[in-house]
Structure 1
Amino acid sequence: MTSLTEAYVDSLAPNAGAMKNGRDLVKKNSFPVLRRTEDGTLLFGECKGSGKEPYRCSVDFVQADSPVSRCSCPSRQFPCKHTLGLMYAYALGKPFEQAELPPDIAEKRGKAEKREEKKKETEAAVANGEAPAKRKVNKSALAKKINAQLEGLQLLEKMVLQTVQGGLGNLSKKNIQLLEDQAKELGNYYIPGVQAELRELILLFDEESNREAVYSKAIEQLIRIHSLAKKGKAYLERRLAEPDMPLDTESTLEEQLGHAWQLAELKEYGRARQASELLQLSFLSYTDQARGEYVDAGWWADLQDGTVHATRNLRPFRAAKQLKEEDTVHAVVQTDELYQYPGEINARVRWDKGTFREAAVQDYKAVKEAANGSFTEVIKQVKNIIKNPLANRNPVVLIAYHTIEKSGEGYLFRDKQGKPIPMSSEMIATPARLETIVPLLQEEELRDQAALVMFRHDVDSGRLSAQPMSIITDSRIIRLLY
């Protein structure tokens, strides 16, 4: 508690507005009551609100690395401005009266301790070779949901068939509006992932877009939707016949159909690993209009085996103000337990608890050693991935290059065998293009380094191109996206 700083409180704020509002409460002396326990693990008090009664707020630091904020206000923002203000008041040196631990907080701590004990007992049982207790399946509810999903997929197949038979060139505003209405209707069938793929198709036909330019992308998206409907139906029919069948953990099909994986499920299926170290190589925030959410995406190198993982912090438009926006991370994250979602490449990962340490030379060297220096192998790997219509269309790979060279009006990577990979900046829009960024690199950064690149297959030309996201040297990471 003595180390509670303004910068740390800033890091807990979900957005800049919450940060400002929390500080303003302190400036306005809105806390008539400020208290702390003798051991310093709990801050609590009262904050003036718009009503007669003050808001009762607290921040529990019984687990120092994951404080728990509580407040009687109706805000859905977490932490709310009142608990942020409480922490700012302490960080700014406002006087706090020493007081006993409130009974309601003591009760909540007791329940949390019991949950933690049960979790440890389960972990110990698994460590001793005992199988974890499997969740009971409500077969009636499952059958109802699957039947609805199958009905939705049949509707989707019908839409795809009608669109193809009518011809993309004949799509009128009326047809597009009909597709939009049908996309909304899919929201009733428990298949949000499928619904988002249809919206992705509709967005391609924005009335201001060049129709000729989007036909190839539209055909690619139609193939993806058709494949999702076909594979989804076959999978759901098997699950309907065998309710106790394990969930698919080898592909992203469950997630594409709309399943929201719980951490307990991932652990049950053996997709949790103890003590991992991750170094973020690239970070990007973008808007996903089809899914109606803001995405904070990070790509991380696993320092144990060099695998490139991804993180995605999703903030739906309607709740964006209440959810914390992620930021780039430069330190090495040491996780207590790493959860990995199903997926072939760049599998999404999450963790509950973690600590940070400063990145060192050996970390950068570990990343470089994990990079693949054979472009022949890299291209083969990427092509095998994109052959699957449901796979990640933009796989991200760590490559080791011999040189970065000028090629016509653009640039390319070349490996030691002379194999080239052309660079592109068409996948991720950035303020500065390659022709502006590459000349800024130092001479030593153009030779014998590693790069994190995002691949894209051009349907028309049949060629692969790669957008550099970061350059990794022996001493630093040069991030090319911002």
Structure 2
Amino acid sequence: MITINEAYVDSLALNAAAVKNGRDLVKKNKITKRCRTEDRTLLFGDCQGSGKEPYRCSVDYLKPESPVFRCTCPSRQFPCKHILGLLYASAAGQSFSIEAVPQEIAEKRDKADKREEKKKEAAGSDDAAVPKRKTNKAALLKKINAQLEGIELCDKLIRQLVQNGLAGIDSKALKMMDDQAKQLGNFYIPGIQNKLRELILLIKENKDRESWYTEAMDQLTYLHALLKKSGVYLTSRQQNPELAMDTDSGLEEAIGHAWQLAELRDCGRMQTDVELAQLTFRSKLDAARSEYVDEGFWLDMDSGKLYTTRHYRPIKAAKHMKEEDSVFDIVRARELFTYPGELNPRIRWEDGRIRSMQEEDFDRIYSYSRGSFTEVIKLVKNQLKNPLSDKHPVALLRYSEIVVGDDESYVLLDEQGKQIALHDTAYLDHATTHLLSLLTPELAANQAMLVLFEHDLSSGRLIAQPLSLVTKREILRFIY
């Protein structure tokens, strides 16, 4: 049976508004009837709404890993606020009377069982081997040809831009770039298209010239490298359609491929029963993609490896999609899928159970922190040398002291006296370094800190921004 606490209910909500509305229903005593079955596989009840008759809502845990939500309200969000209210009432320890399964739900359970039986009959037996998916070579070649055509179009645009010079970009040139970016949507290269849009948005911002040129040249360098490497890679696949997809780097995703879980499983990029702790979380707007991005950084409790989760919500559909949130408990993923990547590869899971964070968990997380800054800096610099790599890797550093340098900025020291400068990064666009002044002497020494690295283009230095502080007793987040 699932442990129903507030963190679990929060994780089910589509967005922050749904959380607030669900909690308000409990505070205002709108849950007028609260029932559960003796085996605890079903919660059901009534919630007073705007109409004369209350809404009937339920949460069916017959299959704990995939609960079924039902409500008679007209909302298109599931779970709706009435279901969340019922769950928050349970999490708050309110009394639930024990009753039999209502007839209408029993009938729905029967229908679901029959559907499952038909699926099994159609598939043969449970042990039947899943046929290996065959590649449609004609469709694949058609797609690759279109991708190469789009890459050539984008490459011509970039070359023309460089030849004419950044200073020569006027409103007419910007409109032409906008039109070209829209055209790239027909060539199956959304990743490249988004990078071009980022460049266009940067130019439109019209910031300080010196800063603008530096950022623009950095993005042009990335685009040039991406186009060149993508062209070579796709040409090799065009010549040999049997060639496997690249799973050793993030090139496919950079081009725009959306990895399916079945593909990741076929590539051996799946682990079972992995426990994860979230160390920090944030949501941001990606204007180039026209999407909100919910980003979390997680630590594997068995290996100490740091991962990233990214959940994309298109702006137009955001209110109908589940908004990710901070997680302060341990998540146990039944199947953990890892995307191709480098120091902090992206991960995803479908079925995850939550347990409370224990004292020994904090100690374990702290034990995975890296005590040698020299080794970490070497790893980070090696990644940054690759023009297509993630330019903002994270690391959990064990420090001996936080001190203030000659320029009044903060510096992290390891036991050997190696320094890492702490500054807010342009990438996060969220200040955290100023919070270090609030740390007690105990927290300012011999603890661990999760930091995000960035190569500061203006100074040429490698800097790090604090994300969270880890002790043997707690995790203090600078962003949530």
The TM-score normalised by the length of structure 1 is: 0.85
1:128-174 CA-to-partner distances (Å, cap 9, x unmatched) read xxxx7431112222222221111111111011101100111111122
1:12-411 alignment, distance < 5 Å: 12-19=12-19, 41=41, 59-69=59-69, 77-80=77-80, 98-99=102-103, 101=105, 103=107, 105-112=109-116, 133-407=131-405, 408-411=407-410
Q: Please, which moves more after superposition, 5-14 or 324-333?
A: 5-14
Residues in 2 aligned to 1:242 and 1:257: alpha-carbon distance in whole angstroms: 19
Residues in 1 aligned to 2:331 and 2:194: alpha-carbon distance in whole angstroms: 32
Of 410, 420, 441, the residue aligned with 1:443 is: 441
User: Are the counterparts in 2 of residues 37 and 101 from structure 1 also a CA contact under 8 Å?
Assistant: no
Change over 3 Å in CA distance of 1:464–1:338 after alignment to 2: same
User: Are the counterparts in 2 of residues 301 and 309 from structure 1 also a CA contact under 8 Å?
Assistant: yes
Letter in 2 for 1:424: H
1:372 offset after TM fit, Å? 2.1
1:24-46 CA-to-partner distances (Å, cap 9, x unmatched) read 99999999999988866457899
User: Are the counterparts in 1 of residues 7 and 328 from structure 2 also a CA contact under 8 Å?
Assistant: no
User: Are the counterparts in 1 of residues 366 and 448 from structure 2 also a CA contact under 8 Å?
Assistant: yes
Letter in 2 for 1:61: Y
User: Are the counterparts in 1 of residues 278 and 328 from structure 2 also a CA contact under 8 Å?
Assistant: yes
Runs of at least 5 residues in structure 2 that lack an aligned partner in the other structure: none
Change over 3 Å in CA distance of 1:233–1:154 after alignment to 2: same
1:379-405 CA-to-partner distances (Å, cap 9, x unmatched) read 111111011111101111122222111
Residues in 1 aligned to 2:118 and 2:468: alpha-carbon distance in whole angstroms: 45
Letter in 2 for 1:418: G
1:274-315 CA-to-partner distances (Å, cap 9, x unmatched) read 111111111111111111111111111111111101111211
* Corresponding residue SS for 2:446: strand
1:79 offset after TM fit, Å? 3.0
Q: Please, which moves more after superposition, 54-63 or 451-460?
A: 54-63
C-alpha root-mean-square deviation of aligned residues, in Å?
Answer: 3.8
1:317 offset after TM fit, Å? 0.5
User: Are the counterparts in 1 of residues 19 and 84 from structure 2 also a CA contact under 8 Å?
Assistant: yes
* Corresponding residue SS for 1:455: strand
Give the number of equivalent residue pairs: 473
Change over 3 Å in CA distance of 1:71–1:260 after alignment to 2: farther
Residues in 2 aligned to 1:222 and 1:471: alpha-carbon distance in whole angstroms: 35
Change over 3 Å in CA distance of 1:109–1:236 after alignment to 2: farther
User: Are the counterparts in 1 of residues 2 and 353 from structure 2 also a CA contact under 8 Å?
Assistant: no
Correspondence for 1:479: 477
1:72 offset after TM fit, Å? 8.8
Letter in 2 for 1:12: L
User: Are the counterparts in 2 of residues 403 and 415 from structure 1 also a CA contact under 8 Å?
Assistant: yes
Change over 3 Å in CA distance of 1:392–1:58 after alignment to 2: same
1:244 offset after TM fit, Å? 2.7
Q: Please, which moves more after superposition, 203-212 or 218-227?
A: 203-212
* Corresponding residue SS for 1:450: strand
Q: Please, which moves more after superposition, 42-51 or 310-319?
A: 42-51
Change over 3 Å in CA distance of 1:198–1:78 after alignment to 2: farther
Residues in 1 aligned to 2:124 and 2:388: alpha-carbon distance in whole angstroms: 36
Letter in 2 for 1:69: F
User: Are the counterparts in 2 of residues 248 and 254 from structure 1 also a CA contact under 8 Å?
Assistant: yes
* Corresponding residue SS for 2:204: coil
Correspondence for 1:129: none
User: Are the counterparts in 1 of residues 7 and 327 from structure 2 also a CA contact under 8 Å?
Assistant: no
Runs of at least 5 residues in structure 1 that lack an aligned partner in the other structure: 126-131
* Corresponding residue SS for 1:286: strand
1:105 offset after TM fit, Å? 4.4
User: Are the counterparts in 1 of residues 2 and 64 from structure 2 also a CA contact under 8 Å?
Assistant: no
User: Are the counterparts in 2 of residues 280 and 298 from structure 1 also a CA contact under 8 Å?
Assistant: yes
User: Are the counterparts in 2 of residues 340 and 349 from structure 1 also a CA contact under 8 Å?
Assistant: yes
Change over 3 Å in CA distance of 1:112–1:389 after alignment to 2: farther
1:363 offset after TM fit, Å? 2.4
* Corresponding residue SS for 1:62: coil
* Corresponding residue SS for 1:446: coil
1:413-462 CA-to-partner distances (Å, cap 9, x unmatched) read 1122221111111235566542x311211212222222111111123433
User: Are the counterparts in 1 of residues 22 and 84 from structure 2 also a CA contact under 8 Å?
Assistant: yes
Change over 3 Å in CA distance of 1:449–1:57 after alignment to 2: closer
Residues in 2 aligned to 1:234 and 1:346: alpha-carbon distance in whole angstroms: 26
1:340 offset after TM fit, Å? 0.8
1:221 offset after TM fit, Å? 0.6
1:60 offset after TM fit, Å? 3.3
Of all paired residues, the percent bearing the same amino acid is 50
Residues in 1 aligned to 2:124 and 2:252: alpha-carbon distance in whole angstroms: 26
The TM-score normalised by the length of structure 2 is: 0.85
User: Are the counterparts in 2 of residues 470 and 478 from structure 1 also a CA contact under 8 Å?
Assistant: yes
Change over 3 Å in CA distance of 1:431–1:136 after alignment to 2: closer
1:203 offset after TM fit, Å? 1.5
Q: Please, which moves more after superposition, 171-180 or 464-473?
A: 171-180
* Corresponding residue SS for 1:251: coil
* Corresponding residue SS for 2:155: helix
* Corresponding residue SS for 2:293: strand
* Corresponding residue SS for 1:134: coil
1:213 offset after TM fit, Å? 1.1
